Amino acid sequence: MGNPHNRSRRNFLQHAAKAGLAVTTAGIVPAVFESCTPAKVVSATMKDPIGFDQTPLPYAYNALEPVIDAATMELHYSKHAAAYAKNLKEAVEAEAKSVGTLEALLSSVSKYSPKLRNNGGGHYNHELFWKTMKPAGEGKASGSLLSAIEGTFGSFDTFKTQFSDAAKTRFGSGWAWLYMNGDKKLKITSTPNQDNTLMDLNPEKGFPLLGLDVWEHAYYLKYQNRRPEYVENWWKVVNWEAVQTRFMNAMG
């Protein structure tokens, strides 16, 4: 019996080749797909991909106040998110050593353990979360992303309402998402736990553009049981410039 790490890598490469994904020396180009049919595959070459390490928070713990309080940010980043990164490294070391990018790993996550799924998603989702927030956000998308949102949802306010509803109605812990599917259409969904739309086992697949953490650890110190208030306030700290960059990458 061969090395299971090598076998997983080989199987993934075979699958990737079949699906028409570009495999380069730099790794596997992240792809989004609505289904596994090759015609639907859209590659999204990221200029600033999310890697396996926890990156420094791009602002101070108190920078998002009063929307998100400093104590919540510090616990969330330095304890919760740090643990996902640490546990992901352990899982990768144990079972997925040779897989190229984190996005490629998540797109075949059904082959791996719950530890890798939960912590791989946990790490990716939080890295994305930090990057798509900033003090005094723009309040609204602009440019081609705004046009796409208006074209898909009718208006920016309708989009916000639908996304907020996804966040408010996600039962228990999870995330709300704006993502781009394999037909390059914008979609809204929510996922349980630390799953996301990159994962092959998630019913809705695509490239995540914006995610909102609705685990209680993200808001309970300040908002207690008032998740809807947290969701409404959160729009003030969305970094639409960062979301636009992800949108452009996914459009190719």
Looking at the Cβ atoms of 8 and 189, the one nearer to Mn ion is: 189
Which of 127, 213 has the CB closer to Mn ion?
213
Closest to Mn ion by CB, 52 or 220 = 220
**CB nearer Mn ion, residue 215 or residue 230:** 215
CB of 177 to Mn ion, least distance (A): 14
For the bound state, the minimum distance from the C-beta of residue 142 to Mn ion, rounded and expressed in Å, comes to: 28
CB of 97 to Mn ion, least distance (A): 27
Q: Which is nearer to Mn ion, 52 or 156 (CB)?
A: 52
Q: How far is the CB of 221 from Mn ion (least distance, A)?
A: 13
Report how far residue 236's alpha carbon sits from residue 189's, in angstroms, rounded to the nearest whole number: 21
Q: Side chain identity at 113, as an amino acid letter?
A: S
Distance in Å, CB of 39 to Mn ion, minimum = 36
Mark 15-43 as b/e (b = at least 16 C-beta within 10 Å): ebeeeebeeeeeebbbbbbbeeeeebbbb
Q: How far is the CB of 15 from Mn ion (least distance, A)?
A: 30
Which residue has the closest beta carbon to Mn ion? 213
Q: How many CA atoms lie within 13 A of 17 on its CB side?
A: 7
Considering the complex, state which of residue 79 and residue 185 has its C-beta at the smaller distance from Mn ion. 79
At closest approach, how far in Å is the CB of 252 from Mn ion? 30
Nearer Cβ to Mn ion, position 148 or 210?
210
**Cα within 13 Å of Cα(199), Cβ side:** 24
Contact residues for Mn ion (CB under 5 A)? 213, 215, 218
